[in-house]
């Protein structure tokens, strides 16, 4: 996401927000539920933050690798699930040397990437998708990165849009939607 090794977030405070929501009965696993419904056996959680999605997918027997550039986020993820694979890296330069059934970018990942690096972000993440696999991304619209630009970047990376919703719980997408969850396939 953001360039550099300096933490831009406080991983523990960020996770505490999700923990508080979960304690109130809010379902904080919508992204993982959607990903699981697509049937992958391996997932790259690109921009994993504190590992909320990664940990939930692993809990359901999916092989998952979490990657984030922010040191504080990765430190919190490692604290929460030390046996999982966590990698601190810039997604726009990511080269893991392996492929996954699915790559997920939950939580506005493209919006945290500098505008001039977004095409590289999409390309680097897409290179990790197996033939027949998918990349799923959800991000807020109207924040300087539109779906046409994202779809073009996916197209250049060899991925085609397969499905789109306005939320992780598959609400119908409309031109007036403020959020988009897109599934692109190779």
Q: What is the dihedral of CA 118, 120, 122, 125, to 10 degrees?
A: -130
Instruction: Kindly report the pTM of this predicted structure.
Output: 0.88
The 10s digit of each residue's pLDDT in 60-112 is: 999 999 999 999 999 999 999 999 999 999 999 999 999 999 999 998 999 99
**Residue-level pLDDT at 25:** 67
According to the model, what pLDDT value does residue 30 have?
Answer: 80
Strand partners, 134: 102, 185
d(CA 17, CA 93): 29
Q: What is the DSSP string of 67-104?
A: EES-HHHHHHHHHH-TTSEEEE--GGG---S--EEEEE
The two three-digit tokens of residue 55, written as one number: 């940990």
Which domains are assigned to the chain? 29-185 (3.40.50.150)
Instruction: Kindly indicate the confidence band of residue 142, based on its pLDDT and cuts at 50, 70 and 90.
Output: very high
Nearest to 5, CA basis, from 77, 90, 115: 90
């Amino acid at each position: 996401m953001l360039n550099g090794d300096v933490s831009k977030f406080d991983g523990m405070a960020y996770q505490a927000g999700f923990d508080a929501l979960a304690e109130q009965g809010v379902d904080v696993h919508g992204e993982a539920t959607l990903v699981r419904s697509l049937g992958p056996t391996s997932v790259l959680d690109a921009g994993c933050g504190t590992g909320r999605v990664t940990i939930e997918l692993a809990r359901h027997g999916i092989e998952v690798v979490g990657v984030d550039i922010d040191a504080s986020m990765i430190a919190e993820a490692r604290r929460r699930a030390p046996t999982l694979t966590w990698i601190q890296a810039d997604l726009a330069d990511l080269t893991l040397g392996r492929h996954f059934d699915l790559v997920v970018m939950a939580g506005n990942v493209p919006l945290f990437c500098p505008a001039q690096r977004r095409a590289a972000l999409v390309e680097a993440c897409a290179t990790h998708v197996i033939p027949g696999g998918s990349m799923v991304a959800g991000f807020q619209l109207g924040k300087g990165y539109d779906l046409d630009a994202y779809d073009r970047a996916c197209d250049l990376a060899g991925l085609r849009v397969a499905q789109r919703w306005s939320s992780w719980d598959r609400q119908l997408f409309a031109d007036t939607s403020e959020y988009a969850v897109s599934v692109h396939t190779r």
